[in-house]
Amino acid sequence: MTNWQSTVLGQEHDLTKFDCGNALLTTWLHRDALRSQAAGAARTFVWTDGDDPAVVAFYSLAPTRIMRDEVTGGLAGGYSQIPGYLIARLALDRSLHGQGLGSELLFDAIGSIVRAAETGGGRLIVVDAIDDAAFEFYRHHNFKAVDGGVARRLYMKIATARKEMRISSLDMVRDPETGLVATTIRRPDGSVSPLVIDPQEAKALGEAFLNRAAQAVPGARVSFDDIILEVLGRDPRHD
């Protein structure tokens, strides 16, 4: 199991091995991320594996303003200049490709924006997709493009993101006749997995969840799926 540690980029992080497969994004992280952060232009967050300083994913955020003529009335909300946050860059190392972690990384970025907006305000989340594949990725995650607007630019209201910011939930219902426990995992991406476990397995999971909560490090990313796989040897994502 891997606990992704999500933290602000610092001098202690090792960027040397990071390669997302896109030269522009990789080079920016290696050469410009710390400099942009020091200048106050953008804040970069990185994923590492526990105490290992090697960066395996990153995203960069920056405050922005959107002009009224770029968006629809519903997005503008009556403002001539709409305050928001730009997801300037977002990428996973090649070693993490194909594991569905892009959605988790985006969810992390949106969560950072929602928390920032609680104190700093803001109405929109903006992203400029680097290519057509990225454009479709963001559309799949409920970002909206504006007809006739900036090419490959997409938006989401922060209010919408706040409503959709659900941590993965685990519902457990015990059948009094059989003693079996019907379990349902609901993930932030909307996917759902049912799982039937016996009382002993339910107890073992409960203890594991409590232990993990007691050991939690701020920013660490732990999933119900990973804990179930570790304790029961069953992966709900493929069960």
Task: Tell me which amino acid residue 134 is.
Answer: A
Q: What are phi and psi of 99, to 5 degrees?
A: -110, 5
CA atoms within 13 Å, Cβ hemisphere of 35: 6
Give the model's pLDDT for residue 45: 96
Higher pLDDT, 154 or 210: 154
Would you place residue 94 in the very low, low, confident or very high pLDDT band (cuts 50, 70, 90)?
A: very high
Would you place residue 4 in the very low, low, confident or very high pLDDT band (cuts 50, 70, 90)?
A: confident
Give the model's pLDDT for residue 205: 86
Tens digits of residue pLDDT in 175-202: 888 889 998 887 756 678 888 999 899 8
**What are the Cα distances from residue 164, in Å, to 50, 52, 98?**
28, 31, 24
Give the model's pLDDT for residue 78: 81
Residues facing 155 on adjacent strands: 126, 144
Is the Cβ–Cβ distance between 47 and 58 less than 8 Å?
Answer: yes
Give the model's pLDDT for residue 218: 44
Which DSSP letter does residue 121 get? -
**What is the C-alpha to C-alpha distance for residues 236 and 7, in angstroms, rounded to an integer?**
28
| Alpha helix stretches (DSSP H) within the chain | 23-31, 33-38, 73-76, 101-120, 132-140, 158-164, 199-215, 224-232
- Per the rule left: phi > 0, alpha: psi between -120 and 50, beta: everything else, 165 is beta
From the candidates 59, 79, 85, 138, give the one annotated as an active-site residue: 138
The model carries a pTM of 0.68
Is the Cβ–Cβ distance between 116 and 122 less than 8 Å?
Answer: yes
Tens digits of residue pLDDT in 122-151: 889 999 999 999 999 999 999 998 877 778
Spell out the residues 6+ positions from residue 24 whose beta carbon is closer than 8 angstroms to its own: 130
Weakest-pLDDT range from 96-105, 158-167, 228-237: 158-167
Query: What are the residue boundaries of the structural domains of the chain, listed by start?
Result: 4-164, 169-232
CATH code of the domain occupying 4-164: 3.40.630.30
**What are the Cα distances from residue 57, in Å, to 96, 125, 185?**
8, 20, 25
138 assigned to active site: yes
Would you place residue 206 in the very low, low, confident or very high pLDDT band (cuts 50, 70, 90)?
A: confident
Query: Mean of the per-residue pLDDT values for the chain?
Result: 86
Tokens at 21, concatenated: 């497969």
